[in-house]
A and B are shown apart, each in its own frame.
Chain A
Amino acid sequence: MNLADGVQLVSFIVLSAMMLGGALGVVLLSNIVYSAFLLALVFISMAGLYILLNAAFVAAAQILVYVGAVNVLILFGIMLVNKRQDFSKVSKAWISQASTAAVCLGLFALLSTMVITTPWAISAIAPIGDGAIVAIGKHFFTDFLLPFELVSVLLLMAMVGAIIIARRDLLPNEIAGNEQPALTLPERPRELVSGGQK
């Protein structure tokens, strides 16, 4: 044990404050670009909490995948759809917001009570710490082999699907030309086509 208990507790409090503040900012700020950067703050403080939980590899994966890839993807998505627009007012929006907040607070109270009252079977064994990467590798190729292989199929499907959905111009021309007007959805004309099919 190299970090003293007090140091761990202080780090935990600082990381929790950063995480909860960032999450509230993500949900409540009106500028969505600020929200996206605060989301990165949430992900980074989450990685710090993982280190406090003896999971250095998952912390690194969190930084690599969430901050490095997912957050960048979200920022690009924001930049692609950003049009400074004010959403039209919905009448009595505060009712839904207040009721949602009440339900969420109730859920939080319920979960906290459950967490505090449950007698957790805390294990007395020391965590394996630095050996976790090897243990994860063994898990991937023994009892988690099928999920491991399915992950590659999932990634393949996600990539193919995202490319097909995001690129409008992959529709074959003959299908697009023969569509019957009665069956079309009330869409805007397709003038925002991205750089054409080569």
Chain B
Amino acid sequence: MFSLNGYEYFLVFLLVCTLVPLLALGISLVTAPRREGVERSTTYESGMEPLGAAWIQFNIRYYMFALVFVVFDVETVFLYPWAVAFNQLGLLAFIEALVFISILVVALVYAWRKGALEWS
């Protein structure tokens, strides 16, 4: 039994969204001239001469940023239902949410102190 509202528009939107890139790529695949050559297989770097391979090793800092992002992304998932149900939950829930947030602030402070948020 399906009881959510408004998802027929979502479905139409999704179909159009999948059709647009398929059409764009398909039309260019059909109509574009095909000439093979050395230039064709090089990495596209906005018109510059490509430097090195596209398959490089990333820096560990990217991982650190992604890690901090994961933690606060999950925090968002937990705080959103609290925000929606805020009026029905009352003061005690507010304090509990503050405890939740303050523990995660400790995590943020830790990451900050250890330099996980610095790029340099």
Binding site for B on A (CB under 8 A): 1-3, 7-8, 11, 51-52, 54, 56-57, 61, 64-65, 68-70, 72-73, 76-77, 79-80, 82-84, 126-130, 133-134, 136-138, 140-141, 145, 148-149, 151-153, 155-156, 158-160, 162-163, 166-167, 170, 194-195, 197-198
In the complex, the 9 A-B pairs of residues with the closest C-beta atoms, listed nearest first: A137-B85, A137-B81, A129-B3, A79-B58, A152-B103, A194-B60, A141-B93, A69-B70, A156-B107
A133 touches B4 (CB 8 A): no
* A149 contacts across to B, CB distance below 8 A: 96, 99-100, 103
Q: Is B43 an interface residue (CB 8 A)?
A: no
What are 8 A-B interface contacts by the 8 Å CB criterion?
Answer: A2-B8, A54-B1, A72-B69, A134-B84, A141-B82, A155-B107, A156-B103, A194-B60
Which one of B61, B85, B111 lies within 8 Å of A159 (CB-CB)?
A: B111
* B4 contacts across to A, CB distance below 8 A: 2, 51, 54, 56, 129-130
Count chain B residues whose beta carbon lies closer than 8 angstroms to a beta carbon of A. Answer: 59
A167–B113 Cα distance when bound, in Å, is 13
Min Cβ gap B31→A in Å is: 27
* A141 contacts across to B, CB distance below 8 A: 82, 85, 89, 92-93, 96-97
A-facing residues in B50-104 (Cβ within 8 Å):
55-64, 66-71, 73-78, 80-86, 88-89, 92-93, 96-97, 99-101, 103-104
Residue of A nearest to B63 (CB): A76
- Tell me the dominant secondary structure on chain B's binding face: helix
* B61 contacts across to A, CB distance below 8 A: 194-195
Task: Check A134/B88 contact, CB under 8 A, given A79-B58, A160-B110, A163-B116.
Answer: yes
Q: Is B115 an interface residue (CB 8 A)?
A: yes
A-facing residues in B1-19 (Cβ within 8 Å):
1-8, 10-11
Most chain B beta carbons < 10 A, residue from A130, A136, A141, A160: A141
* A82 contacts across to B, CB distance below 8 A: 55, 57
A61 touches B77 (CB 8 A): yes
Residue of A nearest to B85 (CB): A137
A198–B116 Cα distance when bound, in Å, is 11
Binding site for A on B (CB under 8 A): 1-8, 10-11, 55-64, 66-71, 73-78, 80-86, 88-89, 92-93, 96-97, 99-101, 103-104, 106-107, 110-111, 114-116, 118, 120
Which one of A7, A51, A140, A167 lies within 8 Å of B60 (CB-CB)?
A: A167
- Tell me the dominant secondary structure on chain A's binding face: helix
* A84 contacts across to B, CB distance below 8 A: 55
